[in-house]
């Protein structure tokens, strides 16, 4: 692959920034409102359902730090910028109920920070974590899965045709979340019958 010139890099950056401006102007606010509505009735997980067990937290500074930062906090409180890194880090450690509860704050922080990561939405390939992830995803409603899909479409649109874009990963991730959406919808329909 040939090395990119400074002019080519600037051109790609300009394309990216124009796409980002368009998303900020047309999609960010409605998506944030949809996220808030989708997660409106999710109850606080409870202090005991945030991160790991008390015994593990006593041995793990990382888990104890996350626990201390989030204990008793509403997800709306964590929209403050000082929680940005904590929300990001917590995505790996939150127990299922806490993950679902704080997920809207994570998504909104990412949108507001113009940092559209797909990292925590990739299909899990670690066999030891599959059940943990399934327990999280099974809590989500179809509406919640739908706003995650809408969020994931943004990095897809931002990166298309750009050198840094890994199309297979985002398409795989979007398909994974579309399947999660279909499963949640089927579960809801079966419950309503």
* Domain-wise residue ranges, the chain: 6-192
Q: Are 49 and 97 in contact, with CB atoms under 8 Å apart?
A: yes
**C-alpha closest to that of 111 among 56, 171, 14, 29:** 29
Provide the pLDDT for residue 50: 95
d(CA 124, CA 30): 29
Per-residue pLDDT tens over the stretch 150-185? 999 998 888 877 765 555 588 889 999 999 999 999
Q: How far is CA 107 from the centre of its chain?
A: 5
Q: With 70 as the cut, is the pLDDT of residue 1 above it?
A: no
| Confidence band for 7, pLDDT divided at 50, 70 and 90 | confident
**C-alpha closest to that of 132 among 103, 92, 181:** 92
């Amino acid at each position: 692959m040939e090395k990119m010139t400074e002019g080519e890099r600037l051109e790609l950056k300009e394309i990216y920034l124009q796409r980002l401006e368009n998303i900020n102007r047309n999609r960010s606010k409605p998506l944030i409102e949809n996220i808030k509505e989708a997660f409106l009735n999710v109850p606080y997980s409870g202090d005991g359902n945030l991160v790991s067990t008390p015994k593990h937290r006593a041995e793990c500074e990382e888990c104890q730090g996350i626990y201390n930062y989030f204990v008793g906090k509403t997800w709306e409180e964590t929209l403050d910028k000082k929680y940005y890194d904590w929300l990001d880090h917590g995505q790996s450690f939150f127990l299922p109920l806490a993950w679902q509860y704080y997920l809207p704050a994570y998504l909104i922080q990412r949108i507001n920070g113009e940092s559209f990561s797909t990292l925590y939405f990739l299909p899990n390939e670690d066999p030891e974590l599959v059940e943990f992830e399934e327990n999280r995803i099974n809590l989500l409603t179809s509406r919640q899965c739908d706003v995650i899909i809408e969020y994931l479409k943004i990095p897809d649109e931002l990166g298309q045709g750009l050198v840094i874009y890994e199309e297979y990963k985002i398409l795989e991730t979007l398909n994974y979340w579309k399947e999660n959406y279909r499963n949640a919808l089927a579960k809801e329909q079966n419950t309503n019958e």
